[in-house]
Structure 1
Amino acid sequence: MAAPAEKVVVIGAGMGGLSAAIRLAHAGLDVTVIDRAPVPGGKMRTFTTDAGPVDAGPTVMTLRPVFEELFDSVGARLSDYVTLHREEVLARHWWPDGSTLDLYADQAASAEAVGAFAGARARAEFEAFCRRAKRLFEAFDAPMMRAVTPSMGRLTAHVMRHPALIPAMAPHRTLAQSLAAQFSDRRLAQLFGRYATYVGGSPFRSPAILGLVWHAEAQGVWRVEGGMHQLARSLERLARAQGVSFRFETAATRIEIQNGAVAAVYLDDGTRLPAERVVFNGDPAALGAGLMGEALRDALPEAATRPRSLSAYVWSFAAVPHGPEMVHHNVFFCDAPENEFGPIAEGRMPEDPTLYICAQDRGTGQQPDGIERFEIIMNASPSADGAEATDEEKETCRTRTFQTLARFGLTFDPRPGVQWLTTPRHFARLFPASEGSLYGRSPHGLMAAFQRPTARLTVPGVYLAGGGAHPGAGIPMATLSGRHAAAAILTDLASTSTSRPTAMPGGTSTA
């Protein structure tokens, strides 16, 4: 008679938790996912508007093969679960001096646009930057992002075998310093410096190697039909098809440890769920705060979760826009990046912010009339104060956001009220112990990537997944973290058994 399937509880139905649950259930384990929210997605939230659900979380989908590989690993197809549209225009950019620049999925088209925007020298600099970003991405994809546990020793050996990587890495420069050396036009340095914010950092304090983020975006940006939350819904359906059970609107209150190993997970309704393995898909800082029990307070060093990454003020609303013609992804830059990141570093709201706008109903070939859905993001410092933001703070954000856009000629009818705003303090309440930080540990410093926690903890049977764990923030990285957690669990199960515990049709891909 076959032994009962190993019981796994996944705490959190974000992209990392869903990814791990799918793989583990497919391998034959008994998987239950719990989440305090009523729907899956974690930070992939929505607001209800007259135009339909509007995204209030991540907006950019890149690295499509990461998601295709997840579906392929369990014998399914991504295209059967969600409809994706490749964006020909990656993003449209505006500056206060009236200049604009589109970047395209076709690199030659982007190079031509940069030349028209800033001249032949800028075009040559852009092409050199693209080659550099590609070289860095390809060099660090396997030994870092796709490795379950990245090794400084293996990475150093890799770099020593390819010494041309060292000047491309610019190890003693920040991203801002590196870009200032690569681009003679300050607007282009400002544009590519914003990629530090993709992982919650400032270009003035993040390592130069983050320039590789451009290559991830240059490989393709995808619009999810129906909104980004549909991607989370598709993973939920795939998980259910593998036999995963879900319990929404239920919070975990403690992970029970007996004799140094996992025994169960306690829920807020008093239920005790027996478990041999637990995947924690919350902010890793919650463990150090004791939110999952005293036994896990010391499971991570403080450097694994601190310093904290950026937060944001996020508007999610529906309105009729008037002004410049937007595409799906749009960036309205401040006059100088110091005006944005200086105040943020001091814990203040920038008076002259850069604003990102996702025009959710726009995209290649789509220019709707009438009411549309929008998400506007202003970078902000995290907030340890989980109290409700004051009316003054909300109104100040409203004034600065929409007055800034009005200077570009962009207005909305009606101008959204503060009920459509999510503040850093609100994020702190939504995601316990996060302090409102949206990306986990800060990427500041050359060694930040090695300080971020990996899938395995020192407590046997507890694993991490999500944007706060390796390989980091962003939906492709969070999805990869779930793969790493599943691989770690299946490896640990195999190492403690004389025979394979379960059948694994399709296998589990590991680097």
Structure 2
Amino acid sequence: MNKKSIIIGSGIAGLAAAIRLRNKGFEVNVFEANSYPGGKLSEIIIQGYRFDAGPSLFTLPDQVEELFHISGKDPKAHFDYIRLPVACHYFWEDGTQIKAFGDTKKFAAEVESKLGEPASYVFESLQKSAFIYDHLAPLFMHKSLHRFGTWANKDAIKCYFKLGKLGIFSTMNKANEKQFSNPKMVQLFNRYATYNGSNPYETPATLNIIPHLEFNIGAFFPKKGMHDITLSLYKLAVNLGVKFHFDSKVEEVIVRDKKAIGVIVSGNSHFADVIINNMDMVNAYKTILKKEKQPNRLLDQPKSSSALIFYWGIKKVFPELDLHNILFSENYKEEFDHIFNKKSIYQDPTVYINITSVNKPDDAPEGCMNWFTMINVPNNQGQDWDRLIQEARKSIIQKVNRILKTDIENLLEVEEILEPRTIESKTSSANGALYGNSSNNKYAAFLRHANFSSEIKNLYFCGGSVHPGGGIPLCLLSAKIMTDMIKG
């Protein structure tokens, strides 16, 4: 008889865990509180406009493809994507524009031409990013940090002799100021701290690993949109025999003699040999694990930033805009000080605009664009969000109008808003934080919950709030690390 497993939540890590466990011979039941799979990686459709609701950047596509390969399927037959010729289009208030071409030689030439920054500085920076990745990825991204064997293998030993070059003892901003002569390039590379909700003026320079993913490996776009990652993996899981139960909120994990044996849903008990939590770790301990010993040291850690997103249907095509666009703040340090210290929104926020209709025209009516317009904001600490959102909307519109020389409000056809309070209610993310605990100190990697419980046998964890962290690739890797611990 096959072993039974229960997965709490069908976020991207929950889907990956379901596929991996099914391939190990487990009977898999997934209980999801929402009426749809995917968690943050879902979609919104409004009056002919389609928006990817959450994550908009796609890197390390091999992590998605691997799930098809282990299932005996050809990924291209079920999920297809392209490599982006331009990773991002950057705009500044003084009229400067930089296209971050996927071809690093073109990107370096663009930077040298527009900013006077020597191309050699760009190549050197990306080489350093690759160096960090080559040394830390095998250790921090592909293994548990909470098992002795991780620290006694050749990958770990190799890192011990390179600690000074891995950015652990500096901040991202200091490393970038040392690397580049032009403040705009420092700002451009500091932006990568936002990929896991961190502050570049506090987070370790180790996070300079991220540009390697975007430039040296590549930024990609699923041909059917980001939501197709969810849909393709959900279909794969169903075809493998995974059973999904939607509108089924888990009320409690059943623990007997320090062993997880099942869950309670709508007052009914469901039993299994292993229980996997894909719910935000903090909220899980506050709700479904509230009777168990609490890892207070981890629960009390500062949380990552959140987001304020305006989904705008725009009755015009802006040919100067790409799939990913950034309109930078004039004072980046002050913006992050507001987010992490003042717990507020700076009057001149950096604006990110994701427009999938650039690559997928049917996401907007003809002659229109679908703008996913986002700024980084603090997580929910009880602020007056109604006032903050109103003020931020005004600031964003003014900034867009200045830089693009337009009157964007007269072009708005539809609008929907996602903010920290609704992020928390829809995705069970503690305080609406997008990436769980903050990474604003050099010990952050060690202050994430393990992929297993040290107190409760047969209880495992995956998703963006546990090791190795948030974002699609790391969530998928969390499922891999976790399922590798479970015997089939």
Range class of TM-score, shorter chain: over 0.9
For 1:227, which of 225, 228, 231 is the aligned residue? 225
Would the aligned equivalents of 2:363 and 2:370 in 1 still touch at CA under 8 Å? Answer: no
Aligned-pair distance for 1:81? 1.5
RMSD after superposition? 2.4
After TM superposition, the structure 1 = structure 2 runs for residues 5-404 of structure 1, keeping only pairs within 5 Å, are 5-119=2-116, 121-149=117-145, 154=151, 161=158, 165-218=162-215, 219-267=217-265, 269-289=266-286, 291-298=287-294, 300-303=295-298, 306-321=301-316, 325-345=320-340, 346-363=342-359, 369-385=366-382, 389-390=385-386, 392-404=387-399
Find the aligned partners of 1:43 and 1:487 in 2 and give their Cα distance. 25
SS at match of 1:48: strand
SS at match of 2:354: strand
Cα gap change, 1:150 to 1:324, in 2 (>3 Å): farther
Number of residues paired by the alignment? 482
The alignment's TM-score, normalised by the length of structure 2, stands at 0.93
More displaced 10-residue stretch of structure 1: 77-86 or 87-96: 77-86
Counterpart of 2:473, as a letter, is P
The alignment's TM-score, normalised by the length of structure 1, stands at 0.89
Would the aligned equivalents of 2:309 and 2:418 in 1 still touch at CA under 8 Å? Answer: yes
| Deviation by residue 1:28-52 (Cα, 9 ceiling, x = unmatched) | 1110111111111111132212234
Find the aligned partners of 1:310 and 1:260 in 2 and give their Cα distance. 34
Aligned-pair distance for 1:118? 1.8
Aligned-pair distance for 1:72? 0.9
Cα gap change, 1:104 to 1:5, in 2 (>3 Å): same
More displaced 10-residue stretch of structure 1: 202-211 or 144-153: 144-153
Would the aligned equivalents of 2:306 and 2:434 in 1 still touch at CA under 8 Å? Answer: yes
Identity of aligned residues (%): 25
Find the aligned partners of 1:470 and 1:77 in 2 and give their Cα distance. 29
Would the aligned equivalents of 1:88 and 1:364 in 2 still touch at CA under 8 Å? Answer: no
SS at match of 1:295: coil
SS at match of 1:351: coil
Aligned-pair distance for 1:433? 5.6
Instruction: Determine the structure 1 residue equivalent to 2:470.
Output: 473
Cα gap change, 1:265 to 1:97, in 2 (>3 Å): same
Instruction: Determine the structure 2 residue equivalent to 1:420.
Output: 416
Would the aligned equivalents of 2:311 and 2:416 in 1 still touch at CA under 8 Å? Answer: yes
| Deviation by residue 1:94-117 (Cα, 9 ceiling, x = unmatched) | 111110111122111111111112
- Structure 2 unaligned blocks of 5 or more: none
Instruction: Determine the structure 1 residue equivalent to 2:402.
Output: 407
More displaced 10-residue stretch of structure 1: 271-280 or 315-324: 315-324
- Structure 1 unaligned blocks of 5 or more: 491-500, 502-511
Would the aligned equivalents of 1:394 and 1:418 in 2 still touch at CA under 8 Å? Answer: no
Cα gap change, 1:413 to 1:178, in 2 (>3 Å): same
Instruction: Determine the structure 2 residue equivalent to 1:484.
Output: 481
Find the aligned partners of 2:314 and 2:172 in 1 and give their Cα distance. 36
Would the aligned equivalents of 2:172 and 2:200 in 1 still touch at CA under 8 Å? Answer: yes
Find the aligned partners of 2:362 and 2:243 in 1 and give their Cα distance. 38
Find the aligned partners of 2:57 and 2:123 in 1 and give their Cα distance. 23
Would the aligned equivalents of 1:388 and 1:426 in 2 still touch at CA under 8 Å? Answer: no
Cα gap change, 1:161 to 1:252, in 2 (>3 Å): closer
Aligned-pair distance for 1:416? 4.6
Counterpart of 1:261, as a letter, is K
Find the aligned partners of 1:258 and 1:150 in 2 and give their Cα distance. 24
Would the aligned equivalents of 2:312 and 2:415 in 1 still touch at CA under 8 Å? Answer: no
Instruction: Determine the structure 2 residue equivalent to 1:444.
Output: 440
